[in-house]
Amino acid sequence: MYPDLNPGPRILLGPGPSEVHPRVLRAMATPLVGHLDPEFMLILDQIQRLLRYVFQTENELTLALSGTGTAGMEAAVCNWLEPGDSILVGVNGYFSERICEMADRYGARVRRLEQPWGAVFAPEVIEAALREEPAKVVALVHAETSTGALQPMQEIGEIVHRHGGLLLIDCVTSLGGLPVKIDEWGVDIAYSGSQKCLGCPPGLSPFTASPRAREVLHSRRNKVTNYYLDLTLLEKYWGKERVYHHTAPISLYYALREGLRIVQEEGLEARFARHRANAARLWEGIEALDLALHVPEPHRLPSLTTVVVPSNVDDLAVRQRLLNEYHIEIAGGLGALKGKIWRVGLMGHSSRREYVTLLLAALRDILQR
């Protein structure tokens, strides 16, 4: 016999999942309907409209994929890349490395444009790379969860389009917490995750594609090789045809709808300002503890802060004491930054002034001891 679920108390201040708003949890308890029920179709329509609001786009092909942000990444790769197609990837962290790995598995010719982990790409660097050799797709991580770096997007869309390519961005750690201006920036393909700044449980990947990208998708030489993530099929379920594709995770869509309603009620500008203000409090407090921040302020991500672990401090021991003594979860580094940084997320419902105060006090106590 197994006991009732009763996990210990946690304050989620890692890179995700973030805390889920109580309203979102209540929405998940709504009785199920069928995934082809007319009432559920109306819910999907509402989710699409709310996602267009958060993505700041008019794209018709806007939906939420069944799967986490990694599913969104794979959908972006498998739908637009065929064997032999070229992709230029700005590699400056763990998740841009993952884009390269996926693209390689689908037979694309992967070109890596490299920067140190924590740095970003200037428009002229991308321009020079495309002048040397054009690419069908140019992929950048807007908010790199492994480093805490925020990629500036101005001018890049225009550069990519001038060289005949599609611009793809990963906005898993930015959507709903800082501006993601799909139409203004000229982004063609973008994906995110439900569990970060949107304040919902993991399991869905918001996704949007421009009319330009949609035209390229429907001009493929071959069928999309991943059936589950084939957007030529999924668009018929989310569109007017309502053609069955797979059984949708109903309760997760209830949650996403409520999370997006909360975003709309707060308003994008107010929500962005809250994330910026709480991040600024954290940065000021971290520096007051004589700790260094990994990313320079101009390119620092408000939703995910990376703190340099002092050379005389045990990374894991501090995180374990935060969890055991204060019930606070933060994360360590990934890949090249493993053991070198702490990753602190202030995303969605977790972006709260009282949490910043508590975390700084807990760190001060542990480090002094």
Rounded to whole angstroms, how far apart are CA atoms 146 and 30? Answer: 35
User: For residue range 302-357, what is the model confidence (pLDDT) as tens digits?
Assistant: 999 999 999 999 999 999 999 999 999 999 999 999 999 999 999 999 999 999 99
Residue 121 has what pLDDT? Answer: 98
Which tokens sit at 45? Answer: 């329509």
Domain ranges of the chain: 11-16+267-368, 22-264
Rounded to whole angstroms, how far apart are CA atoms 205 and 66? Answer: 7
User: For residue range 268-283, what is the model confidence (pLDDT) as tens digits?
Assistant: 999 999 999 999 999 9
Average pLDDT, the chain: 97
Give CATH superfamily name and number for 11-16+267-368.
Answer: Aspartate Aminotransferase, domain 1 (3.90.1150.10)
State whether CATH 2.170.190.11 applies to domain 22-264: no
Q: How confident is the model at residue 369 (pLDDT cuts 50, 70, 90)?
A: confident
DSSP structural state of residue 246: S
Query: For 281-295, what is the mean pLDDT?
Result: 98
Who's near 90: CB < 8 A, 6+ residues apart? 96, 113, 115, 121, 126, 138, 139, 140, 141, 151
Let me know: does 347 contact 29? Beta carbons within 8 Å: no
Residue 188 has what pLDDT? Answer: 98
Global model pTM greater than 0.75:
yes
Burial profile 301-324: b = 16 or more Cβ within 10 angstroms, e = fewer:
bbbbbbbbbeeeeebeebbebbee
Which tokens sit at 339? Answer: 């053991």
